[in-house]
Amino acid sequence: MTKLFVYGTLRMQEENCSYLKNAKCLHDQTWIYGKLYDTNKGYPVMKENNVEKVYGELYEVSDEQLAAIDRLEGYREGGSDNLYERKLVAVFDDFGPVAEALTYITGRSLADSTDVIPFGDWKVYRYMRKGEIYYFAYGSCMDDRRFKLAKVDQYFSNIIGSGRLDGYGFRFSRSTKDGGKADLIVSPDEFVEGVIYRLPMEGVDYLYEREGVYVEAYRPLIETVSTVDGTDIDVLTFIGIAKSDETKPTEVYADEILTGAEKLLSGSYIEGLRKRIGHLMGGMDREKQT
């Protein structure tokens, strides 16, 4: 079996994901060093870069699957005009290196691709082009007080309802000078509840600034959440880039989260939030936070 890092149409729910049917997904939130470009042919290509990051998924594939993907990627060992070349790279997750794996980088035929894909994430890039944006808020953006202060509340007026994101846990693992901030960690046995908004692009622009996307505090992430009625919705959300041990939030920040949660989330989930916050803040209960 061979480890393979994929970043484009082979990713989950993308056009060629069937090539990885029955392959074992080792990590679904990983990255490698590189820079991602749009070929303008319906798929991306990665060029080598030692500073920027490309996000994707890590699989274990059979020899037969690898051979089929080689054909898909236009790769032939020793070929002089390959679409892609194959290379062994180091793969990382939020906590550090996880494996070495094969991936496909630009070959001679795609070397002239120049349209940079922002944030190195093909799924985010594709989602933003659909024109219908749903945002999953799991932290302070569940509350609207800062939307009103920034005079952007009109962008967040279309609330779809609550959603559940499986395979992640809620933590205050973004440590800042202003206390711990809400974050997602990959955790197969946990789930996170939140509020789903339907947004115009102006709302996304505000969120990118607020979440510190441009200073690499958080990065955009596309995931699937389930609603109360069982509908699955692909959503934009944000995940912290650098993780730390949990840090206590400020009282104001904790109150924003709990106030927002109490509007739509389940009682049991809210109680879990209260306990986590209370533990971090030394036993402070809900009444003392308001």
Burial class (CB in 10 A: 0-12, 13-18, 19+), 55: buried
Neighbours of 24 (CB within 10 A): 12
Order of all β-strands in the sheet with 115-116: 44-47, 35-38, 115-116
Q: Are the beta carbons of 237 and 223 closer than 8 angstroms? A: yes
Domain limits of the chain? Answer: 2-125, 130-289
Would you say the CATH fold of 130-289 matches that of 2-125?
A: yes
pLDDT at 290: 39
Q: How far apart are CA 225 and CA 217, in angstroms?
A: 23
From the list 222, 236, 231, the residue with the least C-alpha distance to 57 is 222
pLDDT at 132: 83
Catalytic member of 14, 73, 193, 211? 211
- The long-range contacts involving 105-108, CB below 8 angstroms and separated by at least 24 positions, are 105/34, 105/45, 105/46, 105/47, 105/48, 106/37, 106/45, 106/46, 106/47, 107/74, 107/75, 107/79, 107/81, 107/82, 107/83, 108/80, 108/81, 108/82
Please report, for residues 7, 31, 131, 155, 242, the alpha-carbon distance to residue 205 in angstroms, rounded to integers and kept in the order given. 24, 24, 14, 10, 22
Spell out the residues 6+ positions from residue 203 whose beta carbon is closer than 8 angstroms to its own: 133, 135, 152, 155, 156, 197
Q: Is 211 helix (H, G, I), strand (E, B) or coil?
A: coil
Q: Is 268 helix (H, G, I), strand (E, B) or coil?
A: helix
Neighbours of 148 (CB within 10 A): 12
- Which residues of the chain carry a pLDDT beneath 70? 283-290
Average pLDDT, the chain: 94
Q: How far apart are CA 34 and CA 171, in angstroms?
A: 29
Amino acid at residue number 289: Q
List the beta bridge partners of residue 115.
38
Domain 130-289 homologous superfamily, CATH: Gamma-glutamyl cyclotransferase-like (3.10.490.10)
Residue 211 annotated to the active site? yes
**C-alpha angle with apex 56: 71 to 87, nearest 5 degrees?**
50
2-125 to CATH, choices 3.10.20.30, 3.10.490.10, 3.20.20.450, 3.90.1150.10? 3.10.490.10
Q: Write out pLDDT tens, residues 116-142.
A: 999 999 999 999 988 789 999 999 999
Rounded to 5 degrees, what are φ and ψ at 180? -75, 140
For the record, the structure tokens of 179 come out as 């206390």
